[in-house]
Amino acid sequence: MPKNLVIVESPAKAKTIAKYLGKDYEVKSSFGHIRDLPKKGLSIDIEHGFKPDYQISPDKKRVVSELKSAAKNAEVWLASDEDREGEAIAWHLTQAMKLDPKNTKRIVFHEITKPAIEQAVKNPRTVDLKLVDSYQARRVLDRLVGYEISPVLWRKVRPGLSAGRVQSVAVRLIVEREREIQAFATTSSFKVTALFTIDNTELKAELPDKFSTLEATRAFIEAAQTATFAVAAIDQKPGTRNPSAPFTTSTLQQTAAQRLGFSVRQTMTLAQRLYEAGHITYMRTDSTIMSGLAINAAESYIKEVFGVSYHTRRQYQTKNENAQEAHEAIRPTDFRRTNLGSDAQEKKLYQLIWQRALASQMSPAQVEKTDVTIAVSNRSEQLIAKGEILKFDGFLKVYGGGKDDTILPPLSIGQTLNLASMTALETFSRPPARYSEAALVKRMEELGIGRPSTYASIISTIQTRGYVEKTSLEGAERQLRQLTLEHGAIQENNTSEITGADTNKLVPTPVAEVTTDFLLKYFPNIVDYDFTADTENKLDYIADGKEEWEKMIRLFYDGFHPLIDEANEASRKEVSQARLVGQDPKSGQPIYARFGRYGPVLQRGEVESEEKPDFAPLPEGEKIETVTLDQALSMFKLPRTVGATADGQQIKANIGRFGPYIQVGKTFVSIKPHDPMKITEDEARELYEAKLEKDRNRIIATFPSGIQILNGPYGPYISDGKKNARIAKETDPKNISEKDAKGLLAKAPSRPRRFRRRKSTS
C-alpha cells in the first residue's frame, strides 16, 4: 500500500502528476470543491463573527469517504492549485478529513513537469490560513450581497433575478456604454486624400486635419485644380517595435478573442486542459514574470533556431502591484515542443502562448519611418505621405502582426509632384464601441474589478441571468457625400456605408437597465467602481495578514443591511420607470411605456384607478425611451382577428412574452418571423395546420389510465401529466404496454417543485 496520498482537484491533473511520482505515492482527485455554503438559506451566523456553515456537497460525500479511507495508513499531501481557490480546496479537505491544516503537507507548483513536482515534494509547506481567510471573506461577502439584495429584485423588478458584488458592476459597465452610444451626437467631417504619380509609381498622401463643412472642403478642392504641389520636407528616422510581455490571464483572454475568436470561457477551458496535461504553466496569474530557467531555455532555443541576433534577454515587471495568484506568467513548460494539444483548438491556443512567451525574449523589430510633407502652392494646408520599411523582423519572425512595407518612391526636397486625383469623402464620428468579451475583460482589469480568474464565470453569469445578450447587429445604410478632382474636373456624388453593424458584442437587455438604475439608487456602494476595486485591495490585505476578515465584513454589513429596508419601500411604479407616451384620443386615458414583470410593456390607464388598465407589448425593435404614441396605439389593436380556420374557428393574432403568435381556441402557435398586424388568413391557416399535424405525431399511444407515450424534443417518453419517464434508445415505444409504462413511471424521479412567487403588497 502506498505510504503517501496526494490529493489534487481534477482527474486530469492527477493522471499527469502520477506519472512523475513513484510507487510510494497514490494520487487522487477531489473533483474540485468538496464543501461549500448550501445553495438554500443564508448559512452565515451574522451574530457570531459571520461564521459560515460549510457543508459537504451531496455529490461529494462518496469522494470524501474514499479519500478518508485512502488516508488511513498514508501521509496526506495537498496539491491543489496555488491561488486562493486552490488554497480553499486544500483547507476544506483538512476540515472534511479531520486533518490539522497546520501540520498537513501542502505542495504547490506553477507547472506540471517532473522537475517541478520533485522540487515541490522536497519543499512542502502547510495550508496558508491567511489566503483561506481572504477566500472566506470573498465567499461570505458575495453570499451576503446576493442573499439580501436578490429577494428585493424579485419583488421590485422581476422574479428569478440575482445580484452580485462583481456581476452587477459588470452589468453596469455594459448598460452605461449602451446609453453612451444612444446619446452620442454624430458629427460629420471630410477627409481629403490625394494620389500623385512619379515615374510610373504612385504616392498616396492625405491632409492630417479634416474639414468640418462641405463648403470648406469644396474651396480646398477647387484651389487644388490650379495649384502646384512640391515636396517641402522629408523626415527619415529609425524606429523599433518591441514585443509584448508573456501572457497573464486577462491578456490571454483578450488576445485569444481577437486572434482566434475564442470566448473567455472557451479560452480558460482550453488553457486548463493544457496546464493539466503539463504543457503550460498555471493559467490563472496576474504576473508577467518568467522564471530564470524559462528565460535560459528560451535563449537557447532562439539562438539555435534563429541566430544570436534574434535574442534579447528580458524580465518583464508585473504592472499590478497586487498581483497575487501564481508568481509566473503563462508560458510553455518546454519551448522545444512547438505543437501540443489534444485537438485543433488546444493546439491553436498552445501555439499562441508559445509564440508570445518566446517573442518576449527576442530582439525588437527594426523599421525605417519616412514622413514626406507636400506643400500646396495656393493654400496653407500641407499633405503628408508616410512610408515604413521593415529592416529587421526580430520578434515578428515568431509573433506576427507586422504591417506590410509601405515603400515611397525616390523623392527630393523641392521636387514638383503630378496630381493624378484628389478625393474628399464625408466621414462621421463614431460612438464608443460596444463591449466584446475581450474588451469587457480589459476594462474590468483597468478598474480593478474582480480578478482575471473570475472573469469567465462573471461574463457567463450575466448572460445566463438574462442581463446581457451576446449578439450581432445588422446596422443600417448611410449616405456619404464625396468630392472628386480628376483630369482637372470636380465631381460631386454620393456613396454609402453600413453603420451600426456589430458582431458578437455584449448588449444589455431592458431588465439590465432597470436593475442597474435600481441598484444605483438604493445600493450605490455595491455598483460603485471604486468600492468594488477597494474591496479587492482589502481582500489582498487579508491575504497578507494586514487585516482581519471578520472585521472587514462587519464594517461592510453595518452600512449595507439598513439599505435593504429602504429598498423594500420602493414602489413598483417607481422601479418600472414609467414614461408617459401620450393620451388615447378615444378614451382620454394616459398611455405609458414601462417595465413590467416580464419586460417592457405599454399600459393604457392608471393602476390606481377603479378600471383595470390595458396592457400591450412594445413594437419589435422599440424601447421604452423611443416608442411613439402612434406606435403604441397600433399595439392596442391587438389581439387582431385574422380570419377563421377551415372549420370556422376564429383565428386571432397577438404578441406575448415569447413573441408573436396566433390563437385558435386553446391552441397557441408561434408565427415568428411574421408580423401579427400583417399576417394573412392563408398564412395563419397554414401555420395552424402544421401545428395540429405536429401534435398528432406527438402522441404515440394513449392508455385508459390516462398515461401517454409521447414524442418529445429529446426522443420518446412516458407521461401521466405529473411525472415523466425516459424510454431507453433500444426500446421501441410502440411495443410498451400500459403495465410497463406504469413500472417505468414508478421508478422515474419526481419533478422538482416549481418556484412560487410571494405576493407583493407594493
From start to end of 271-342, where are the E strands? none
CA 161 to chain centroid: 18
pLDDT above 90: percentage of residues in the chain:
64
Dig out the grid coordinates for 275 from the structure: 496546464
Q: Residue 162 — pLDDT band, cuts 50, 70, 90? A: confident
SS (H, E, C) 96-164: HCCCCCCCCEECCCCCCCHHHHHHHHHCCECCCHHHHHHHHHHHHHHHHHHHHHHHHHHHHCCCCCCCC
Dig out the grid coordinates for 512 from the structure: 439590465
Dig out the grid coordinates for 135 from the structure: 477566500
Pairing of strands 75-78, 105-106: parallel
pLDDT reading at 1 higher than 70 = no
Averaged confidence pLDDT in the chain? 90
Name the more confident of 177 and 326. 177
pLDDT of res. 319: 65
Helix axes 529-543, 129-156, angle to 10 degrees: 150
**Any idea which residue has 505515492 for its cell?**
25
Segment 535-562 shows an average pLDDT of 92
**Positive or negative CA dihedral for 442, 446, 449, 450?**
positive
Highest-confidence segment of 361-365, 465-469, 619-623, 731-735 = 361-365
pLDDT of res. 614: 86
Which stretch of 169-173, 344-348, 402-406, 548-552 has the lowest confidence by average pLDDT? Answer: 402-406
The DSSP element (H or E) to which 503 belongs, if any, is: strand 502-508
CA 471 to chain centroid: 11
Dig out the grid coordinates for 486 from the structure: 480628376
* C-alpha neighbours within 13 Å on the C-beta side of residue 653: 24
pLDDT reading at 620 higher than 80 = no
Q: Residue 623 — pLDDT band, cuts 50, 70, 90? A: confident
pLDDT of res. 452: 80
pLDDT above 70: percentage of residues in the chain:
96
The DSSP element (H or E) to which 734 belongs, if any, is: none
Cα–Cα separations (whole angstroms), residue 680 to 178, 270, 651, 667: 37, 50, 10, 18
Which of 282, 399, 435, 717 is catalytic? The answer is: 282
pLDDT of res. 663: 93
CA-CA distance, 328 to 336, in Å (whole number)?
19
Segment 75-87 shows an average pLDDT of 91
Pairing of strands 25-29, 4-8: parallel
Catalytic, 282? Answer yes
Q: What is the pLDDT of residues 518-547, one digit of tens each?
A: 999 999 988 999 988 899 899 999 999 999
pLDDT reading at 326 higher than 80 = no
Instruction: Tell me how many degrees the CA angle 155-157-162 measures, rounded to the nearest 5.
Output: 85
Q: What is the pLDDT of residues 265-308, one digit of tens each?
A: 999 999 999 999 999 999 988 889 998 999 999 999 999 999 99
Pairing of strands 468-473, 667-670: unpaired
pLDDT of res. 502: 87
Alpha helix (H) residue ranges in 7-113: 11-18, 61-71, 84-96
- Count Cβ atoms below 10 Å from residue 213 Cβ, excluding itself: 11
Q: Residue 758 — pLDDT band, cuts 50, 70, 90? A: very low
Q: Residue 231 — pLDDT band, cuts 50, 70, 90? A: very high
pLDDT of res. 427: 96
pLDDT reading at 756 higher than 50 = no
pLDDT reading at 64 higher than 60 = yes
pLDDT reading at 596 higher than 50 = yes
Q: Residue 755 — pLDDT band, cuts 50, 70, 90? A: very low
The model's pTM: 0.80
pLDDT of res. 538: 93
pLDDT of res. 751: 64
Q: What is the pLDDT of residues 88-101, one digit of tens each?
A: 999 999 999 999 99
**Any idea which residue has 512610408 for its cell?**
387
Alpha helix (H) residue ranges in 599-737: 629-635, 681-698
Segment 20-49 shows an average pLDDT of 91
Name the more confident of 212 and 41. 212
pLDDT of res. 336: 95
Nearest by Cα to 229 from 207, 212, 211, 209: 207
Q: Residue 197 — pLDDT band, cuts 50, 70, 90? A: very high
Which stretch of 288-297, 376-385, 401-410 has the lowest confidence by average pLDDT? Answer: 401-410
pLDDT of res. 506: 95
Mind listing the domains of the chain with CATH numbers?
Answer: 4-127 (3.40.50.140), 139-184+433-568 (1.10.460.10), 188-242+365-428 (2.70.20.10), 249-359 (1.10.290.10), 576-635 (no CATH), 640-697 (no CATH), 703-747 (no CATH)
- With a CB cutoff of 8 Å and minimum separation 6, the contacts of 20 are 112, 113, 114, 117, 118
Which stretch of 18-27, 584-593, 605-614 has the lowest confidence by average pLDDT? Answer: 605-614
